[in-house]
Every structure is written in C-alpha cells, then in structure tokens.
Structure 1
C-alpha cells in the first residue's frame, strides 16, 4: 500500500516530549491512574531521599499525606544541588523535576530502587497540578513552584535555614487520577519492607487526611532480616518455638552481600520473602541457593543421626518448606534479572554462594541442639511431596508485571 493511498507520510508523525507525553499516557510511566499509580508516584519522589540516607548523607525520611490531598516527602540530607549541572550526588533541582529521566543511576549494592520503572520525580511533577520544592542548603532556604511539569516561579532565596535537606510536596492532578487516593496501607507495607532490609533507614509515615483518625507510623529495625521474620510470623496462627537463624555474609565471588533469617514453626505452608537489592522478587538464584543449602544441611544431619543412610537420596528442598518462615536478601554490585520487571534474579554465582553459606550456618545450628535438629529433620522426612499445596507465595506478579501481595 502506497503513501498516496493511505494519505500517511512523515508530516503526520507527532513527536511528543516532556510533561505532555507523560500526561497523555500516564500508564506508560507509573503503571496506572489508580491507587497503584499514586503509590508509584510517592516512591518515585522518595527514592532519592531514601538513597541519601543509605549513602550516609541523611538520617531520616518523612512522608506526610495532608488533608488537602498533598503528599510531602522530606529528608535531612545536604539538599538537592541548585545549579543545573548538579554534582556527583545528582542533577540540579530544576533538571531533576522537569527532565526525564534526570537522576543518578543506581550504584550497586548500596542503592535501592523503590519503584518498578524509576522514571523519576519529573514524571510525578508532570502528573501533579502543583509541586513545591524547598531546599535547605549551606544555611540558606530556597523555594520554587511548579505546575504540571513546568516551573512557574524562579528559584528564590527565602531566608535562612536551620539544618539541611530537601522537601518536595506534590498535589496529584484530579484530571488524571479522579477521586483515587494515595493508599496509606500500601505505603506502610513497602516502606516497612525497605526499613527491614536496610538497618540504617528510618522512615516516618503520617496520614493527616482525616482529622478524627490521624495516623503515624515510625519504621526502623536494627535487627534487619531477624525482625522481618518476626514480622511475618506475627501474622501466623501458631507461635514460633525458636529464635530465627540469622546471618549476614559478604562473598566476593558474587560481588555482594547476603542477609538471611529463617525458622520453622507449627504453622502449615511456607512463608518466604526474597529480595535482590531491596527489590521484591518471586524467584531466582538466591532463592534456589537457599533451598539447596537447607536441603543439603538437613540431609547431612539426617545421615549423621542415622535417620537416613548414605545410599538414600537427599531430602528434596521442597519438602523442607513445611512450616518455614524465611527472608532471603542479597545486595549485589551488578545484579542481573530475567525479564523486564526484575522479578527473577539471574546471577549464576549467587546460587552456589548462598547455598554454601546456608548449609554451613544451618548445619551448625542443627548440631547445637539434638532435639531441635531431630524435630526439623523428622518434619522434613514426613513432609508433603512437591511444592503444590505446600508453598504459599507472599509476592506474585500480575499480568501487567507488577509485584503484589
């Protein structure tokens, strides 16, 4: 078919850039225009603040949902650079809030990525009827106003500042989101997860939208994955009889660190959460390595106690998950994922490294208490075969590629 017959040629091609592109197709940038998209917007703005704390440049992040629909994200870092060029920590303020993407890329194991797409606060600005920026830097307070992705005032000096930091406040555009509201519970779950995985992170969430029911949650967990297991078991029907087996280990072979905590209880099924660089995953080499290590340790213990002979096959890893609560977190300099949603970790070296560490730590734990070791081993030997009906995933991936619980 020729161009003459279709009436279509290069003159009909439209190039849409900047805020207009985001506003025309918001789902391409934040996934949806529902509560999920609003949660994504909060994460995009908070991403920079969280990484300031993890880099040691700040100590806390505060997120407030106000009665007028605003979302306020504040940190006590050094403050976003003011000039357009920015510095090693990131771009300048106006570039950060108006150019997409204009932000520092994640740098290995020490950075987290809060949102699935990481399109940056410029996309949030484009989808907000208003955004205000306050930067407290080197004793001076600076402010600037934006609307629907564009600056409406120049960067203005507004007096002296006590301390340092950045506060970004945005009002989601009702023309885009209708009556949808930012879901507090979803934010609490995601930031609780981040605080559990990163011991130095302190996050405060406050909801002031209902005067009769204000809510404030402070999230900080010095025991990391051990606290995470206790949190997961807190929703279980039966108490856990032992403290978690927990350890942190750096292995240069996988160019990263692992933090694991796990224990068995009287609850049916399996409660396992896995993460790579603080991102939830549904499977991967870290999970496979964990299962390999548990199976190897329990098999060796069973043979050593005469509960299994050397000629018997090893215990299947899927039979050991009955009643198991586990958190498996790895942080890598060069994470590799299978697929665009980063839901499955693919680094080959991770499997053997995690398996070896789990086998050694669990093996020692089993030998320290004969009754405890025998109990876990008997449960594994009598457990149901196969994963079907035994494993209850706590994180799944839907058709759109989003992870949810």
Structure 2
C-alpha cells in the first residue's frame, strides 16, 4: 500500500451543512428509501396529530393519500402556535417543520411515537420536494410552503377560519425515494393498532389514488384491547366458548398502567402481542410477567380442584400458550428498552406487577365457572402433550 493510499488528514473529512446530511443518508432517519421509508414519513407527521388527540386537545385525525402522490394529515386540535419562537428566527410552526426536534416522543406514558424513530416532521420536510402547512387558530387561517427542509414562503394570514386545527401535507422527493407508492394496508395496520391501544383515538385513513373510486376506513375501538383480541381471533372468535378476560390496572410500583386482554380459542395456535407505550415489542418484562401470572393461576386452580396430582409438575410459563390469544400493553412514565431497535422492554419491576395482576384476574375467572376452567386446563395439557 502506497503512502498516498494510507494518508488520512482533514482534507478527507466531508462536512455536510443543514439538511444535506439527511438527504445524503435518508435511511438513517426514516429507515429506507423504499415503501418502508415512505410509510415512516407518514408516521413522523402523524405523531403530533395523534398526540393532540391523546392529550385531549383534539377529537380526531384524518390521513389522506392524495391522487397526486402526496399525503395530507389533518387534526381538529387548537392549531400549531404561529407566534414567533424565541431564538428560532421564525414562528413555532416554522421551527416544528424546519428544525430537528430533540427528544420527540418522550413526553410520558401517553405520548405516542408511531414509527421506530421519532425524528419529527422536519426530517420529512427535508426529504420532500414540497410541504404545505395550514393552521386555523384564533379565528384566522395561516398558510406556509416549504421544500427540502426550508421555508419557501413566509407564514401568511389568508383569511378567517371557523374552528381550529392543523393540516400538514407533503410530497416525497422523487430524487430520494425509489418507490413512490404508499401502502394503504401498511398504514392501516399501524394506525389500527394505535386505535386499539388508545381508546380515545379516532383515526380516518382515506385513499384517493384509486381510479375506481376512493376507499376509507375509520379506526376507533371503545373496548380497546378487548376489541384487539377479537380482531386477532377473526373467524375463530365466534366459535370459541371462552370469554375474554380483560382488565386495566394502575400500579405505582412500575410508575405506569397496564391493559391486558386474553382468551383461549379452539385452535392450537398461540397469538400474543405486546406493547410498551404503544410501541410494538418482541418481548420483555411485561410478557414474562404475563406468562408467569397465567401459569401461576392455572397451576393453583388445578391443584385446588385435584386436576393435578402432588407428583405432577406445575404448568410452566412456556406451556400455557396453546390456543391463547393475548394483548399485553403497558404505558410507563419511564420505559427502558433494550437494544438499538428498542424492541424489548427492560423495566424489571414490570414483571412482578403484570404477573400479580394477571394471576389475580385469571384466578377469579377460573373459579366462577368450573366447566370453562376445566376446558382451559385441558387445552393447556393437550398443548403440552403436543409439544
């Protein structure tokens, strides 16, 4: 290797200014430059609107896929403040859409980060050839346009307005994204999930791109995780003899709350999903606690009723899943996630809190009806034998 090949000095360092870094490495901010990245762009803009509803400042969120390849996100909240922000060199609206937001999605147990990043709408602006904002606030209507991370027009009052709210629309930059087609189904799946996990959330998703007419879904589920279990069970739900066990509990020991719903169906499959602060998780202390609680309650009941002999081992937490559909959702003031992908919840106290709550509720449910209790235990035994 020559001296020229090994020389490394300041001339080799490239300094990217402004939004140039985001545009050069978009995958670092939205995951990819294909459909997955496009979907993440929608989530980053929708975060703020969803959190307005969860905070009680708005009633609904409407997301529209427009015929010309754009996305419009609207809410009926108080409207993003349009007053100048000290030190920002512009309005609070302009700061939201042109400055990277530090700590987005860390406002407590009810603050939702829809996607995996939480980098904010300014990154979406940087990766869009056009972004428009409309704010209805204080009886006036304000508009502003942006492109590739910067404002291209001043914030302008254009007339009077009834009601209040914010509409942000964007068109992804074709120079950045290889795929320019948003997946309606992919967006619907995540927004439906959020609506299940947050009872007060009302989201509408509309697709105007179809030549045979628009399609729209309204996602609102007053029964929360109980509705989620019904959805996961699908056609098997009607044929199952088991009730859904569902409860909510606040527990100061874990500085948060839990919402759990589960039931056994007449099928061998296990369908369990877990969430922490509305973020999907692949496991963690909340799921370990759930399995501990189910195993403890079933074992205790089986021994009381003589369904297990003194020589029989306890039902293990790994043996209770046959036919079980479950949603375990916790919302914590200070969630701790393991790993860079934040897919595993690590708060140690959550295990005992969830485990005890599940054991209490399932234990009472089993004692209410010996017949269905026996059916549950038989299904667990049969599933263990298949394993």
Contact 1:79 1:135 in 2 (8 A): yes
Structure 1 unaligned regions, length at least 5? 391-405
**Aligned-pair distance for 1:2?**
11
Taking the aligned partners of 1:133 and 1:175, their CA distance within structure 2 comes to 22
SS of match in other structure, 1:62: strand
Residue 100, structure 1, aligned to residue 105, structure 2: no
Task: Return the alpha-carbon distance in structure 1 between the equivalents of residues 350 and 323 of structure 2.
Answer: 25
* TM-score normalised by structure 2 residue count: 0.95
Q: What pairs up with 1:73-84 in 2 under 5 angstroms?
A: 73-84=73-84
Unpaired runs of 5+ residues, structure 2, are none
Is 328-337 or 230-239 further displaced after alignment? 230-239
* C-alpha distance in structure 1 between counterparts of 2:144 and 2:132, whole Å: 6
What displacement does 1:8 show? Answer: 3.3
Q: Deviations over 1:119-138 (max 9, x none)?
A: 11111001111000001111
Q: Which position in structure 2 is the counterpart of 1:279?
A: 279
The more displaced of 30-39 and 374-383 is: 374-383
Q: Work out whether 1:189 is the aligned partner of 2:189.
A: yes
Shift of 1:267: 1.5
| Aligned match of 2:31 | 31
Where do 1:43-122 residues align within 5 Å?
A: 43-85=43-85, 92-101=92-101, 104-122=104-122
Contact 1:96 1:102 in 2 (8 A): no
| Structure 2: distance between partners of 1:265 and 1:162 | 50
Distance in 2 between the 1:362 and 1:32 partners? 43
Post-superposition shift, 1:110?
1.4
Q: TM-score, normalised by structure 1?
A: 0.91
Aligned to 1:170: 170
Distance across 2 between alignment mates of 1:103 and 1:132: 24
Who is 2:269 aligned against? 269
Tell me the residue number matched to 1:400: none
Give aligned pairs, total.
384
- The aligned residue for residue 216 of structure 1 is 216
Give, in angstroms, the shift of residue 211 of structure 1.
3.0
Name the residue aligned to 2:40. Answer: 40
145 and 262 in structure 1: CA distance in 2 versus 1, 3 angstrom threshold: same
Runs of 4+ in 1 over 4 A off after TM superposition: 1-7, 102-105, 235-238
Aligned to 2:130: 130
RMSD of the TM alignment (CA)?
2.0
1:221 aligned counterpart, secondary structure? coil
Shift of 1:72: 0.1
Higher mean Cα deviation, 176-185 or 62-71? 176-185
